[in-house]
Structure 1
C-alpha cells in the first residue's frame, strides 16, 4: 500500500476540501488529487463524493478515515518519542479560544519555556472553537463547557461563574448582587448564538422562568462591555472577562447557580504531537498547583 496516497486521503478527508488539504500538506492540488485517484483506482473504490466546492466521504471513506486517524496518532506518538529524546527545539501550536483573558497569559508561560515553538491564536465563540478543531484549523481549543465527544481529549482547567454587568451610573451600580427575578423585563446584552456563556445563561433563565425585555446581540465580549458602558442595557459575561474597566460594575445573581468550567481541548489524534503534548503538560502542572 502506498503511504503517500493514504496521507493524501487523510488530509482531504480531514479538511473536507482538496484546496485546504493541499495547503496543509504544502503540495499542489493536482498532486494531491492524483494520489487520491490512484488509491481509488488501485482498489476500484470510491472514497469521496463532490459536494459544492468541497467533498464528503462515502461509507467506505468514513471507515478508512477511522483507520488513518489511528495511523496519524501512531505517527505523532513516534515523533513525540524521538523529539523528547533530543529536547523540544522546534514545532508549532495553533490555538483557538473563546476569549483572550485565559489563554494569552498561558501562551506567555509556554513561550518562556519553549521560545522556539511557533504560536498562533485566534478568537471566536464556542462553535468556532469546535469547528476549527474538527476541520484541523487549530491544534488546541479553549471553551467554557465540556463536550462529550469521543474524538476529543479535554482537560478541565479553571472554574468561573457568570455575572451581570452594568454601567457605574446604573441604579444597581452600588449593589453586589441581585435576585434572578429582577431581570424580568430588563434589556439584556448578550453574545451571539453559538456562545456557550449565552447558552448556559438562557438555560438558567428558562429554569427560573425569567422573561427579559428586548435583547441586544453582539458578536464579541469587547462589544458587550462597550455596549454596557454606553448604557444600552445589562450585560451577561463570565467574571474573568470583566477586566479593569472603571466604567463598569459587576453583580452576582444570588439565587441561581451559574458556574462554568473552562476546558482545554484537542483532537485525540493531535494530543501526542510534541508541541501539543508539551502545552497540555504545562496546563496539567498548573492545575496541580492550583493555577
Structure 2
C-alpha cells in the first residue's frame, strides 16, 4: 500500500465525494479514482458503496477510515513538532562548561531571544567536555583550553589572566605580584589533570625551570577555595572565576604571561544545526 493511496482514500472518506477530495489535495479526479481502485484491487476489498447520490463507506471502509484518522492526525502532530523545533520555538540545547561564569553569561543573552529552547548545563574540565562533544552527549561546550581539531568548530570568546589565590595571612598577600621562582617551595593546591588553569601554570613554571611542589590535587573550585582559606597551600585560578572573599587575596604573576582563553566549541558537522548556530550567533554578538 502506498501512502498516496491511503491519503486519497482518507480524503474521499472525509469529504464524502471524489470532487471535493481532489480539490483539497490539488490532484485530478481521475487520479483520485485510480488510487482508490488500486487500493481496493490490491487487497480484494470494497471500501465504498457507489451509488447515484455519491459514495458511502462500507464496513471495511469505516474500519480503515478510523485507522487513517489516527495516522494523519499523528502526521499533523509530527509536522507541527518539526516546524516548532525548526523555528526554534521549542527544543533542547545541551551545554557543557568548564566554569559557570561565561556559560551563564551566554545563556543569559540566549534565552530572551529563544525562550522555548530548554538548556541543560553539564560541568567538567576541558578534556571531559571535548570527549562529551565527540560522543554526542553535549551540543556546545564552553572550554578554557582548545587545540585545533578538524572534527571541531571553535569560536574564541574571552581571555583572562591566571592569578594566585592565597590566604589573607600569607606572605604573598601584601604583594602585587610574584615571580614564578618564588613558587619553588610553596605547597601548591592543583586542580585535576586536564584542568586548563593547572596546565597554564605548569607550562609557565616549566619554561621558568621551576618544579611545582604539589601538596594536593583537588577536583573543584569550591574545594580549592576552602583549602586555601584553611592554609593548606596556595592555588592558581582564572581571575574571571575568583569571587572576592575577605579571607583570601589574589596575587598576579609578574614575570610571565599566564592566562586562559575561553573558547566555544561544537562538532564541525553540527555547526549549522539551528539551535547550535543560534547559540554561536549569540556568542559572536558578545565578543
TM-superposed deviation, 1:85:
11
CA contact (8 A) 1:166 1:173 kept: yes
Partners of 1:111 and 1:176 in 2: how far apart?
A: 39
Backbone CA RMSD of aligned residues: 1.8
Deviation at 1:143, TM superposition (A): 1.2
Structure 2 residue 260 is matched with structure 1 residue 235:
no
Displaced runs of 4 or more, over 3 A? 82-87
CA distance in 2, matches of 1:203, 1:85: 45
* Alignment deviations for residues 45-101 of structure 1 (CA, whole Å, 9 cap, x no partner): xxxxxxxxxxxxxxxxxxxxxxxxxxxxxxxxxxxxx96997421121111111111
* Displacement after TM superposition at 1:214 (Å): 3.8
| Partner of residue 97, structure 2 | 97
Over 3 Å counting, the alpha-carbon distance change for 1:83 and 1:158 in structure 2 is: farther
CA distance in 1: counterparts of 2:232 and 2:117, whole angstroms: 43
The count of aligned residue pairs is 206
Matches within 5 A, 1:79-118: 87-118=87-118
1:244-264 deviations in whole A, cap 9, x for unaligned?
A: 322211111110111221100
CA contact (8 A) 1:83 1:274 kept: no
User: Secondary structure at 1:269's aligned position in 2?
Assistant: helix
Q: Provide the C-alpha distance between the structure 2 equivalents of 1:184 and 1:95, rounded to a whole number of angstroms.
A: 38
Whole-angstrom CA distance in 2 between matches of 1:113 and 1:271: 19
Alpha carbons of structure 1 residues 229 and 90: separation in structure 2 relative to 1, 3 Å: same
SS in 2 for 1:244: coil
CA distance in 1, matches of 2:167, 2:186: 14
Helix, strand or coil at the partner of 2:246: coil
Q: Distance in 2 between matches of 1:192 and 1:85?
A: 39
Q: Deviation at 1:202? A: 0.9
Give the secondary-structure state (helix, strand or coil) at the position aligned to 2:249. strand
**Residue deviations 1:147-189 (CA, integer Å, cap 9, x gap):** 2110101000001111111011112212111111100111001
The verdict on how the C-alpha distance between 1:112 and 1:190 changes in structure 2, with shifts beyond 3 A counting, is same
Contact 2:85 2:91 in 1 (8 A): no
**Larger Rg over CA atoms:** 2
Deviation at 1:203, TM superposition (A): 1.2
Unaligned runs of 5+ in 1: 1-81
Residue in 2 that maps onto 1:250 = 250
Aligned to 2:127: 127
Cα distance in 1 between the residues matched to 2:244 and 2:275: 33
Deviation at 1:212, TM superposition (A): 2.9
User: What pairs up with 1:273-288 in 2 under 5 angstroms?
Assistant: 273-287=273-287
Question: Paired residue for 2:152?
Answer: 152
TM-score (norm: length of structure 1): 0.67
